[in-house]
Structure 1
Amino acid sequence: MTEEQVTCESVCSSPDHPEETSHTVNPKEMDSEQPIFSVLSASVKQQQAGDTNTTTNNTTTTTTTSPAATASDTESGIFSGECELCVEHESELDWFCGTEHKLICSHCAITLTAKEQKLQVSASRAREQVLAQVSAVREALEEEEQRLLEEVQREEERVEQCLLTQRAHWSQAMTNLTQTRSRLVHTLTHTPDTQLAISAQEIAERIEEGEGIGEPCDTVQLNMNPGCGDSKLLRGLWATAVLQGPNAYGSSHFKFDERTVSPLLSLSDDLCTLTFLHKKPRQSPPYDPARFDSWPNVLGSLSMSSGTHNWVVDVGQSGAFKVGVCYASLQRKGSGNEARLGHNSQSWVLSHYDGEYSFCHEGKKESLRVVKRPQKVGLLLDWPSHTLLFYEPDSSAVLHSVTHHFSAPLLPACAVTDRSITILH
């Protein structure tokens, strides 16, 4: 094989064939708008065939192969060093792939075209799904906006009606007070002293009547309903945006603090799994002022007083557990409510007991509606907005959220009285 036979590009650019220079296949000069696969012209094929015959018949010609061309042929894996045939299909290389920048056979072109079409269909499907999701979110936001506007309008009408009621009440009270004052002044100025002594009881009754006129009427408080600015949809979108960030499963440094573990619990060696002990161990752990001695509680090792934090607890099949946050000053000793999670002003927890879910704080229990029992419970604490949010990690569904002006650093807090719970990283 001569040097002119090695590549189509060499043949097409050979000075012996100036009339076929226009058929040169140069990948760098291809227009991006041209087809990915370009069939080689018949003249190029004929030229290749002619060159081959000439080389075969001329026995005196020295057969030398360009090292660069041979290396290119070998590295491409498409055609061998002896003939320009597709290694995979053993067919003539009569197509040029603009994507791979190399010669291919018609079978390769059909295969690559099918793959390209499949990828285009997949990309089109993905684009349609994204557009559908964006459209659904847009519609949901518009509906939520309309709902909030209607709720605000109803609240404005209620407050306006309350103001009108209060105004009418105070106007009537002023009229009554004026009339009572006039009667008392008339009685005091036109009644003889001896008669005043006899009429003392009547004057006292009129004064008592006048004092009660200015009492506020029984009406709804004149303040806007906080629910007008509350939107679970917006909270859910905000939580989803945060959870899709680089810290979706929280800090790897978050573990349970073994100093706080109750004697009713067992802590794993990696400080991530808590197991409830059905029988209290005979030997109590060493005394530690940080340890809970009565309730099955434990605190986390991460103190939070700024930024945004989130972590996930695998609750598995546990039928009784609590997950939340508390102040570091939470009482650790005794069996009173001051050391019981969710039953004091220093702790906020989501509780699951006897198949029911609830949010507990200051001893008040707010029942939660959970469609599907979660195997994991996530917590998201955003310190700047003073927001604590409980969510289901697999679907990012918001279970409950609370806004509170936290006045001191918070620690993760957990309790379990059935099976085990584990911190996930």
Structure 2
Amino acid sequence: AANAARELVIQRLLFVGKACENEEQRLLEKVHTEEERAHQSIQTQQVHWTEALQKLDALRTYLVDMITNLDDQGLVRAEREIFERTEVAEGILEPQESLKLNFNQMCVQSPLLHRLWASAVLCCLTGSQDIHIDEKTLSPHLSLSEDKKTLTFSPKKAKVDSDRPERFDHWPNALAAAPFHSGLCAWKVGVEQSCAYKLGVCYSSVPRKGSANEGRLGFNSASWVFSRYDKEFRFLHAGQPQPVELIKAPAQIGVLLDFAGGEVLFYDPDSCAILFSHREAFREPVYPVFAVAHRSISL
């Protein structure tokens, strides 16, 4: 039995290794092809600008000569020709396919590599970040436990100072006390009690006042959240929902933030299954953010 188990491990590792080798070769070939394409585009652009400079130099010589040698009446008669030559000069400076000069980093996107990387990171994580919710940001619809770990929703607004600039005064949102600005960060949220919640990350500039739609998490450009409403699961950003198909509702949702790599990933801690991932070049530190509209969620 031990030999059979050992053989199974070896076979599976060899299979994974072979798959990684094939994927590595495929991606390296795509990088090489994209590099050659970008280089060819640059060479084409160089030829264009060399010809453009030659045309402009000839045009400058023509205009200087005309202005120097013609009297006022001659310049008036040549007005149309000068205008046409000027139009030609403006056309010469039109860029030619400038967007194609950049190396397209999307060529190295690989679902296999991404899932292997994410699974490896999740398996190697020994724990999650110690996150506390900032009470000053708390919506009047939410209450916070003494350990600042559990958010509970109430349909009735609490009597709080809603004028504080940090506070969400309408939607049932709350921010963590500290942002993340580098490295890999992960945290878990217990959601078993709630059928209506959002969790993810946001900039400090996320709208906090009023009942407008942009104050809802995921309905503005400053927040990225995983959302549940009853039996519907979605990823939300900038008002663009993306459905997430799940067989059953997770008891916990894990969030993995790769700040430098520009990715936020949502996963099921029990199975390490990736629920959804989104790539984003974060321009500033991001805060863990939460919303609850039914019962409670806990860090």
Identify whether the pair has TM-score above 0.5, normalized to the shorter chain. Answer: yes
Partner of 1:10: none
Residue 279 of structure 2 corresponds to residue 402 of structure 1: yes
- Write the distance in 2 (CA, Å) between the matches of 1:348 and 1:153: 33
Task: Give the partner amino acid of 1:422.
Answer: I
Task: Give the partner amino acid of 1:143.
Answer: N
**Superposition pairs of residues 296-375 of structure 1, within 5 angstroms:** 296-301=172-177, 304=180, 308-316=184-192, 320-327=196-203, 330-336=206-212, 339-344=215-220, 346-352=222-228, 355=232, 357-360=234-237, 363=238, 365=240, 367=242, 370=245, 372=247, 375=250
- Write the distance in 2 (CA, Å) between the matches of 1:207 and 1:160: 32
Shift of the 296–132 alpha-carbon distance from structure 1 to 2, 3 Å rule, reads farther
Q: Please, what TM-score do these two structures have when normalized by structure 1?
A: 0.56
Partner of 2:39: 160
Residue 82 of structure 2 corresponds to residue 203 of structure 1: yes
Task: Give the partner amino acid of 1:335.
Answer: S
Task: Give the partner amino acid of 2:29.
Answer: E
Shift of the 336–212 alpha-carbon distance from structure 1 to 2, 3 Å rule, reads same
1:261 to 121, 138, 146: 138
Q: Is the contact between residue 325 and residue 349 of structure 1 (CA under 8 Å) also seen in structure 2?
A: yes
- Write the distance in 2 (CA, Å) between the matches of 1:219 and 1:328: 35
Displacement of 1:212 after TM fit?
2.8
Residue 9 of structure 2 corresponds to residue 130 of structure 1: yes
**Superposition pairs of residues 208-223 of structure 1, within 5 angstroms:** 208-223=87-102
Displacement of 1:294 after TM fit?
0.4
Q: Is the contact between residue 187 and residue 256 of structure 2 (CA under 8 Å) also seen in structure 1?
A: yes
Stretches of structure 1 lacking an aligned partner (at least 5 in a row) = 1-120
- Write the distance in 2 (CA, Å) between the matches of 1:144 and 1:368: 28
Task: Give the partner amino acid of 1:212.
Answer: G
Residue 163 of structure 2 corresponds to residue 284 of structure 1: no
**Superposition pairs of residues 21-420 of structure 1, within 5 angstroms:** 121=1, 123-181=2-60, 183-184=62-63, 187-188=66-67, 191=70, 194-245=73-124, 247-248=126-127, 250-251=128-129, 253-265=130-142, 272-277=149-154, 280-281=155-156, 284-287=158-161, 289=164, 290-301=166-177, 304=180, 308-316=184-192, 320-327=196-203, 330-336=206-212, 339-344=215-220, 346-352=222-228, 355=232, 357-360=234-237, 363=238, 365=240, 367=242, 370=245, 372=247, 375=250, 376-382=252-258, 387-398=263-274, 399-405=276-282, 407-408=284-285, 410-417=286-293, 419-420=294-295
Partner of 1:45: none
Shift of the 214–244 alpha-carbon distance from structure 1 to 2, 3 Å rule, reads closer
- Write the distance in 2 (CA, Å) between the matches of 1:364 and 1:149: 36
Deviation track 1:314-339 (CA, whole Å, cap 9, x = no partner) reads: 44486643211234565543335674
Task: Give the partner amino acid of 1:310.
Answer: A
Q: CA RMSD in A?
A: 3.7
- Write the distance in 2 (CA, Å) between the matches of 1:421 and 1:132: 45
Deviation track 1:233-256 (CA, whole Å, cap 9, x = no partner) reads: 4443343333334634x25x5454
Displacement of 1:413 after TM fit?
0.9
Stretches of structure 2 lacking an aligned partner (at least 5 in a row) = none
SS in 2 for 1:212: helix
Displacement of 1:295 after TM fit?
0.8
Task: Give the partner amino acid of 1:358.
Answer: F
> Which of the two has higher C-alpha Rg?
1
Deviation track 1:189-211 (CA, whole Å, cap 9, x = no partner) reads: 66565433322332233233223
Displacement of 1:183 after TM fit?
4.5
Shift of the 199–332 alpha-carbon distance from structure 1 to 2, 3 Å rule, reads closer
Deviation track 1:70-106 (CA, whole Å, cap 9, x = no partner) reads: xxxxxxxxxxxxxxxxxxxxxxxxxxxxxxxxxxxxx
SS in 2 for 1:220: helix
Q: Is the contact between residue 200 and residue 289 of structure 2 (CA under 8 Å) also seen in structure 1?
A: yes
Deviation track 1:232-284 (CA, whole Å, cap 9, x = no partner) reads: 44443343333334634x25x5454555432334556775554544xx32x62
Q: Is the contact between residue 276 and residue 420 of structure 1 (CA under 8 Å) also seen in structure 2?
A: yes
